[in-house]
Amino acid sequence: MNCNPLISLGLGFFLFNNFLFFVSNADTGPSCPKTSPFVGFESKFTMVRHQVRGFLTIVDDCSFRVSQFDMLSGSDVHFWGSNAPDFDNFTNGFMISDYKLNETYKNASFSVKLSRNVTWDRIQVLSICDLLTESDFGHVILSNGSDLAPTLSPDMAPSPASNYSRGEEGKFGPFRVTTTFDNCKVLSNDYRIRWSLNLERDFIDIGLEAAIAIQNYMAFGWADPKANSEVMIGGDVAVAGFTDEGMPFVDDFYITKYSECTINKDGSAHGVCPDTIYEGSDPVGLVNNTKLIYGHRKDGVSFIRYRRPMVSVDTKYDLPVNYTEKMTVIWALGLMRPPDTFRPYYSPQNHGGPMSVTYGHLVLNVSEQVNECLGPLDAANKEDQDLIIADANKPLVVTTGPAVHYPNPPNPSKVLYINKKEAPVLKVERGVPVRFSVQAGHDVALYITSDLIGGNATLRNKTETIYAGGPEAEGVLASPMELIWEPDRNTPDQVYYQSLYQKKMGWRVQVVDGGLSDMYNNSVLLDDQQVTFFWTLSKDSISIAARGEKKSGYIAIGFGIGMVNSYAYVGWVDDTGKGHVNSYWIDGRDASRVHPTNENLTNIRCKSENGILTFEFIRPLKPCSHNDRVECKNIIDPTTPLKVIWALGTKWSDEHLNEKNMHSETSHRPIRVLLMAGSAEAEQDLRPVLAVHGFMMFLSWGILLPGGILAARYLKHVKGDSWYQIHVSLQYSGLAILLLGLLFAVAELRGLNISSAHVKFGLAAIFLACVQPVNASMRPRKSTNGEEVSSKRRLWEYFHFIVGRSAIVVGIAALFSGMKHLGDRYGDENVHGYIWALILWFVIGTMIIMYLEYHEKQRRRDRVFGRSNWVLGNLEEDDSSDLLNPARASSQKDKQHSGLMEVQLEPLNR
């Protein structure tokens, strides 16, 4: 059976009963007795859907009265009787009255007459039922006081304490619902606070109720009486909301500053922080003094009930509530940041809206009776189910699991799960095949239907259209069945996936026109598979889209091998829900080095669905013809692999960027996207390659080449031409390693990009180093003893000296710029240590040169004054003479003209 009226009622009785009802407005008159033990029973409605609140009172054997009644309108709503509020009993129940409730009720009161042959002993649960959707909007469990009342619906958590009102427990029965209070105050159009005092036990129960998104928080508390115009500073507030798993929470917060909670390096905290963060821990519950009583999320309205002491033991962060005095209270609504590695708690972000809409304050005396809440809150978006976007390349795995947050209660205990999500909203695109992998068991056959209840509506004498599936669409994990469905232009915008054999196991399917899979010819998953990159090439432009695979505040993709020196496109949705896509040039690692550009982006779209961001745009392959603008250099060549990186973060802004806007997750390496081939390959990690290249360059410029110069400078006094052999060997060895290191880097990098300072210094140093052996091969003839040095020889000496020293200086600059380039590219923390080690090495080398230079000058001075060790018979050129020193050259010339020679004779047997 379903929620249909009893067909056994006779037409005459029906017309007569209906006539009496409308004439008397359910005034039962003196003829209705009061013999039922339920007469006088009074209880509150348990809210299940449509924001039902109110009191039910049984007047006599024939009627009952509803007072202070709130409810959002339905399609075909009636009072319903059943044995229990669970799915099987509810669907096998019966309509108990012809009274229709198809409108929105605001604090209404009215009487209702039971239908003929309906008595109170047949009703265990009195519900408000929508016949079209077979939904339980709310119910009351009847009790005559002698028996224990039946257990509550699985959809409602029982209250920790039983509350009684306007009567004794034995007569009226317990009040088990926690959504009603003694007082209610309107804070804004979408936000209310309800409360009840318990002076005997010194606590106050508070209910926060707001028509907000599930990602938003509700905050309420007391202002510091000593606060001036900034009433929220020093405030003691409770922040409530729902976790990513849909579970309610409430935490005790203290406000020291108008900012999100920030923990300093010394462990101290400031901003809007939980009390436990200020203290570091709360092992015995002395700091967090808010106690969650109950919470639910229904019809797009968040409701949290919590309890706090009037006077807390925590005098440092909690304020005492004086119920006899007027006190200033503060409140706010806004987005909530989920926990992460750095903030292991749900943190409220700035409300970001106008006063009295998303935040405010007022004076309140909690002991005064207030009831300003007339009617239910009506949210614009009444559904919070997870959204799954179908992808033609990935099957949707259909299984079954326990019903926890099914959107249309009552429901069976087992419902359909898609990709491990309970009864999600499924979004598909016309023209894109949808693949289901059905693993729900042999007793569950999947089908796509026009009926929102499912269970094969044709068997219930209702018309339905079946778009896919049927008895054959069943399978198990070991042997899944693949069902392929391709929505077409004739498919309605909304259909349902259901079980063929059981009602209310599935949920809605949104059918939309187009999507990323349709609009773009190619797509690849970028590094770490957290961002998908889509593109379509045209003659002069490229259409690009990026979608994050996890919740984030913004998504960014960049063209380059790293964050530094890259062109980035950032998409985000601001506090007003508007999407943005901006382009940037990044030339550093801090926020000040992120520069907006004026690229010609068209067809810009950015949206967030359940925290998953997607942005799209079209840009020309060649942005502009002007070379003086940085964005004009961001040219995309379809024949060349495009290196793409990504980043995800919590918050972005189009102005006043700071360190908080920096990313929290990034790709570890770029992906080389082959635009024309429609494929991608991972960029190789070049750090080992660059390390070998750097070592070879250090060996050449830091050891071999300087060593060869030192040999030519300070070893000429050694007998024979040993200095010359050492000089030539070191120079040619250094040059060979230098060229090998260059070829190694060019081969691994697959080309040579001369845009960086390091490459420019390196190429200049290599050129100078290669000039030296060419110059050495053109060395002029040496002069004989007593012959004046030729001008060609002297010019050669000058050139050889200047080029050699210049090569060393430029080579050292290349070493240091290479270290900086490595740090900019990979952010290696060891780079600074390497740079200091390199500086220390050259400082030591400089000290050694100073020492050698000092002794060389001493040796030359001794030679001038006659203490030379020149050997008789050595007719080789004395290359120890500094031809570049005019004074020295003049001295040698004078000695030759004087005809005097000091000869030191040495034994022949030496």
Residue 637 has pLDDT above 50, yes or no: yes
CB atoms under 10 Å from CB of 477, counted, come to 11
- Once rounded to an integer, what is the mean pLDDT over residues 669-686? 78
With cut-offs at 50, 70 and 90, classify the pLDDT of residue 146.
Answer: very low
Q: What does the pLDDT look like over 842-855, one tens digit per residue? A: 888 888 888 887 88
Most confident of the ranges 123-132, 524-533, 698-707: 123-132
Letter for the amino acid at 817?
S
Residue 733: what pLDDT? 86
Residue 746 has pLDDT above 80, yes or no: no
Q: What does the pLDDT look like over 289-324, one tens digit per residue? A: 899 999 999 999 999 999 999 998 888 889 999 999
Distances in Å between the alpha carbon of 644 and those of 378, 546, 567, 725? 45, 11, 10, 52
Residue 232 has pLDDT above 80, yes or no: yes
Q: If residue 768 lies in a helix (H) or strand (E), which one and from where to where?
A: helix 757-777
- Of 459-473, 571-585, 809-823, 879-893, which range is least confident? 879-893
Residue 534 has pLDDT above 70, yes or no: yes
Q: Is 319 helix (H, G, I), strand (E, B) or coil?
A: coil
Smallest CA-to-CA distance from 738 within 685, 839, 639, 808 is with 808
DSSP assignment of 193-215 equals EEEEEETTTTEEEEEEEE---TT
Most confident of the ranges 318-322, 434-438, 516-520: 434-438
Distances in Å between the alpha carbon of 675 and those of 77, 473, 753? 57, 39, 21
- CA-to-CA distance for 792 and 780, rounded, in angstroms? 7
From the CA atom positions of the chain, what is the Rg in Å? 42
- Of 273-277, 402-406, 513-517, 625-629, which range is least confident? 513-517
Q: Is 152 helix (H, G, I), strand (E, B) or coil?
A: coil
With cut-offs at 50, 70 and 90, classify the pLDDT of residue 101.
Answer: very high
Nearest 5°: the CA angle 660, 665, 669 is 130
- Once rounded to an integer, what is the mean pLDDT over residues 597-615? 88
Smallest CA-to-CA distance from 378 within 50, 47, 75 is with 50
- CA-to-CA distance for 902 and 882, rounded, in angstroms? 20
For 357, the token pair is 């809409």
Contact between 26 and 110 (Cβ < 8 Å): yes
Residue 207 has pLDDT above 80, yes or no: yes
- Once rounded to an integer, what is the mean pLDDT over residues 549-567? 87
Hunting for tokens 């229904």 — which residue is that? 298
- CA-to-CA distance for 885 and 46, rounded, in angstroms? 105
- Which residues make Cβ contacts (< 8 Å) with residue 695, sequence separation at least 6? none
Report the C-alpha dihedral over residues 688, 694, 699, 700, rounded to 10 degrees.
130
With cut-offs at 50, 70 and 90, classify the pLDDT of residue 72.
Answer: very high
Residue 187: what pLDDT? 95
Q: What does the pLDDT look like over 777-813, one tens digit per residue? A: 787 777 666 667 778 888 888 888 888 888 888 888 8
pLDDT averaged over every residue in the chain: 81
Contact between 810 and 705 (Cβ < 8 Å): no
DSSP assignment of 224-255 equals -TT--S-TTTT-EEEEEEE-TTS-EEEEEEEE
**Omega within 30 of 0 (cis) for the link into 410:** yes
Q: If residue 414 lies in a helix (H) or strand (E), which one and from where to where?
A: strand 414-418
- Once rounded to an integer, what is the mean pLDDT over residues 334-339? 88
- Of 194-203, 277-286, 727-736, which range is least confident? 277-286
Q: What does the pLDDT look like over 353-369, one tens digit per residue? A: 788 899 999 999 999 99
Q: What does the pLDDT look like over 337-396, one tens digit per residue? A: 888 777 788 889 877 678 889 999 999 999 999 999 989 999 988 888 889 999 878 899
Nearest 5°: the CA angle 715, 717, 719 is 100
Please state, for a pLDDT cut of 70, what percent of the chain lies above it. Answer: 81
